[in-house]
Amino acid sequence: MTKTFTRKKIFFCAVILLVTFIMLIIRLSYLMIVKSDYYYEKAEDLHQRERSIKAKRGIIYDRNGVELAGNKPVCSISVIHSQISDADKVVTALSEVLKLPEENVRNKVAANTIREKIKSNVDKETADVIRKMDLDGVMIDEDYKRYYPYNTLASKVLGFTGADNQGIVGLEVFYENILSGKPGSILTLTDANGIELENEAEGRIEPVPGDDLYTTIDINIQKYAEQAAKKVYISKQAKRVSVILMNPQNGEIYAMVNVPEYNLNEPYKLIGANTTGMTDKEKQDALNQMWRNFCINDTYEPGSTFKVITATAALEEGVVSENDIFNCPGFRVVEDRKIRCARTSGHGTETFRQGIMNSCNPVFIDVGARVGVERMYKNYDKLGLFEKTGIDLPGEANSIMHKKENVGAVELATMSFGQSFQITPMQLLRAASAVINGGKLVTPHFAMFSEEHDSHERTILDFKERSGVIKKDTSEKMKDMLESVVSEGGGMKGQVPGYKIGGKTATSEKLPRGNRKYISSFMGFAPANNPQILGIIMIDEPVGTYYGGTIAAPVMAEIYENILPYLGIEADYSEKKIKETMGRIYIEEGD
């Protein structure tokens, strides 16, 4: 047996040991309980590789739920070097099926990278062929590509998306936040060399699909308007034909046409132009030009259609009444300038109403002068002509007006019949809406509501309205006078049998003057007493006859003839109406 002190010492040491063990356990507990989350997160960061999953982009529908912009499943094919067992077979198969040069594929297969993309945007059928081959090391990832089922339909309104499905122009970019959604990600665990581990639970953050967007566009109206515009675009060999059709009561746009439209599925293909010999910059400029939406991106001199605004201002200010008598000798001298009327022989003595019907410049020069600059600008302002319309499309232009202090008698006179300043067609249409809807300044727009992808929860998109910008009485008078423009005046070719149409024609010579380049336009609404639709058509640089009343008004009449019944506006074939209409046809034929 050992001595007592030996045993005591051994026991003493053992106790010290025990204490040390307990201290280590405390240290471990601290690391594994208190600091656990901290180290766990750090370790996860180290182990996880993130691959992002594109979110499905929201669909753009027309007002009836017809898909205007959707998603087409496509695949991207890539190879994983370390998993390839038979490189030659992979090279031959991929180059054959994907129609790629064999050398190209071989280089990518040989590249010692973790993942090499062979081709993206491969359609599903082709990808399925490859999938059936069951090649080791070939990965097929599904993806979505933006797809426009109607190709050219409303191209300048819808716009298109880029490689990452991000909106580039049009509604696609304006409603990017609604449509894009949130991309998700796949988190895979990897070892220290970055090799993904199999059989490890993948962390997956699901992508949030974008919300669908329901627009005010009506595909049938849009199609019909496009067809009509295209017809006149060809027959008049015009540079461009634009049509806007909207609801003047609330600003909903049914159709916006800019012929020539381009194919949204091939937005980088220039139409009607030879790209060979073009520098990249020239080509890009040409593309930008092709993508432009004339209705909102560009300004023009509205010409006679603007007389609607002048007449409204005059009635608003009470400086004129329907039956006031004016005299037109075919011109008017303002200060040192002799301003001609369209009819050089003059309209003679006429009432204000007749002045509008005849689109007589001297009448409007006189009326404008009566209103005066101050009050004229006040009315322009009330009708929103100094501001952008607030339409939900990017790149909207604003009007170019004289500074008020620079407006002399000559400027006022020319402005009264729509010259010497520029506005966008959309601004004109918005102002005209207020004139005919009883004085409500609406915001023209395309979006109606967005719909959440899963819950189908709808969010109504609101647009500003300003009521009472003009008096109801003024509005009533204007509707009545504009109806007579179509029924008896210069806009007679805008008539639609069975319907009361109000409207105003215009023929504006483009700047610089004297080049004999015109924009012929017609702005019309129906039914004239309670307008449900307001439209404008602009034919840019027509060849041959260029009078708005002759070439633009019939196109709008043709459009209305079809879409008014479609909109549920019933025709009224009362005896008087038929007689009038028949009479017109008879007279024309007899002419």
Closest approach of another protein to the CB of residue 51, in Å: 18
Rounded alpha-carbon distances, angstroms, from residue 335 to 92, 272, 340: 84, 48, 14
- Beta-strand pair 212-215/60-61: parallel
Alpha-carbon gap, residue 453 to 181, rounded angstroms: 10
Options 163, 192, 276, 544; binder of another protein; rule CB under 8 A: 192
C-beta of 29 vs 151, nearer to another protein: 29
Q: CB of 17: closest distance to another protein in angstroms?
A: 5
- Rounded to whole angstroms, the Cα distance separating 522 from 429 reads 11
11 touches another protein (CB under 8 A): yes
Please report how close the Cβ of residue 137 comes to another protein at its closest, in angstroms: 18
- Helix, strand, or coil (residue 194): coil
Near another protein in 285-304, by CB under 8 A: none
Per CB under 8 A, does 202 bind another protein?
no
Q: How far is the CB of 48 from another protein (least distance, A)?
A: 10
Q: Which one of residues 110, 197, 271, 400 is an interface residue with another protein (CB under 8 A)?
A: 197
In the bound state with another protein, the residue whose beta carbon lies nearer, of 24 and 578, is 24
Counting contacts by CB under 8 A, is residue 19 touching another protein? no
Min dist CB 135 to another protein, Å, is 24
* Alpha-carbon torsion angle 272, 274, 280, 281, nearest 10: -60
447 membership: H or E segment, kind and range: strand 447-451
CB of 112 to another protein, least distance (A): 17
> Based on CB atoms, which residue is closest to another protein, 20 or 459?
20
First-to-last alpha carbon distance for the chain, in angstroms, is: 144
Give the CA angle between residues 210, 214, 219 to the nearest 5°. Answer: 130
Q: Which is nearer to another protein, 64 or 83 (CB)?
A: 83
**Interface pattern 28-57 for another protein (x via CB under 8 A):** xx-xxx-xxxxxx-xxx-xx----------
- Residue 215's alpha-carbon distances to 15, 69, 218, 446, 448, in angstroms, are 82, 11, 8, 5, 5
Q: Which of 556, 549, 429, 437 is nearest to 496 (CA)?
A: 556
Choose, by CB under 8 A, the member of 112, 193, 279, 344 that binds another protein: 193
Q: Is 464 exposed, middle or buried (0-12, 13-18, 19+ CB in 10 A)?
A: exposed
Say how far apart CA 486 and CA 189 lie, in whole Å: 74
- Burial of residue 514 (number of CB atoms within 10 Å: 0-12, 13-18, 19+): exposed
CA-closest candidate to residue 401, choices 389, 390, 387, 391: 387
How many helices and strands (H and E) does the chain possess? 19, 19
195/271 with CB nearer another protein: 195
Pick between residue 3 and residue 132 the one whose CB is nearest to another protein.
Answer: 3
Q: Looking at 21, 268, 573, 586, which residue binds another protein (CB under 8 A)? A: 21
27 belongs to the binding site for another protein (CB under 8 A): yes
**Closest distance of CB 165 from another protein, Å:** 34
Give the range of 3-11, 78-86, 259-267, 372-380 binding another protein by CB under 8 A: 3-11
Computed from CA positions of residues 506, 510, 515, 519, in that sequence, does the dihedral angle turn out positive or negative? negative
Among 18, 234, 543, 585, binds another protein (CB under 8 A): 18
Nearer to another protein, 85 or 279 (CB): 85
Contact between 83 and another protein by CB under 8 A: the answer reads: no
Nearer to another protein by Cβ, of 192 and 460: the residue is 192
Catalytic pick among 180, 304, 359, 521: 304
Site string for another protein, 141-180 (x = CB under 8 A): ----------------------------------------
Pick the stretch among 25-33, 339-347, 377-385, 516-524 that binds another protein (CB under 8 A).
Answer: 25-33
> Looking only at residues 269 through 288 of this chain, which bind another protein when binding is defined by CB under 8 A?
none
Least Å distance, CB 45 to another protein, is 9
Report, in Å, the least distance between residue 136 CB and another protein.
19
In whole angstroms, give the CA distance from residue 68 to residue 264: 11
Question: Which member of 63, 131, 189, 317 binds another protein (CB under 8 A)?
Answer: 189
Task: Name which of 51, 115, 106, 52 is nearest 79 in CA terms.
Answer: 115
Residue type, 588: E
Pick the closer one to another protein by CB: 28 or 582: 28
**DSSP one-letter string for 397-434:** ---B---GGG--HHHHHHHHTT-SSBB-HHHHHHHHHH
Q: Which stretch binds another protein (CB under 8 A): 15-23, 146-154, 331-339, 419-427?
A: 15-23
Number of residues that bind another protein (CB under 8 A): 39
Nearer to another protein, 18 or 234 (CB): 18
User: Residue 18 CB, nearest distance to another protein (Å)?
Assistant: 7
In this structure, what token pair is assigned to residue 383? Answer: 């009708």
Residue 513 CB partners (closer than 8 Å, separation 6+): none
Cα separation, 315 vs 491, in Å, equals 21
Closest listed residue to residue 212, CA positions, set 394, 62, 391, 73: 62
Provide the minimum distance between the beta carbon of 251 and another protein in the complex, in angstroms, as a whole number: 58
Binding of another protein at residue 586 (CB under 8 A)? no
* DSSP character at residue 1: -
With respect to another protein, which residue has the nearer C-beta, 197 or 585?
197
304 is catalytic: yes
Query: Which residue from 50, 96, 128, 191 is in contact with another protein, where contact means CB under 8 A?
Result: 191
Q: Do residues 472 and 439 make contact, with C-beta atoms less than 8 angstroms apart? A: yes
> What HEC string does 11-71 produce?
HHHHHHHHHHHHHHHHHHHHHHHHCHHHHHHHHHHHHEEEEEECCCCCCEECCCCCEEEEE
Question: Which residues bind to another protein, rule: CB under 8 A?
Answer: 1-3, 5-7, 9-11, 13-14, 17-18, 20-21, 24-25, 27-29, 31-33, 35-40, 42-44, 46-47, 189, 191-193, 197
Question: Looking at the annotation, which residues are catalytic?
Answer: 304
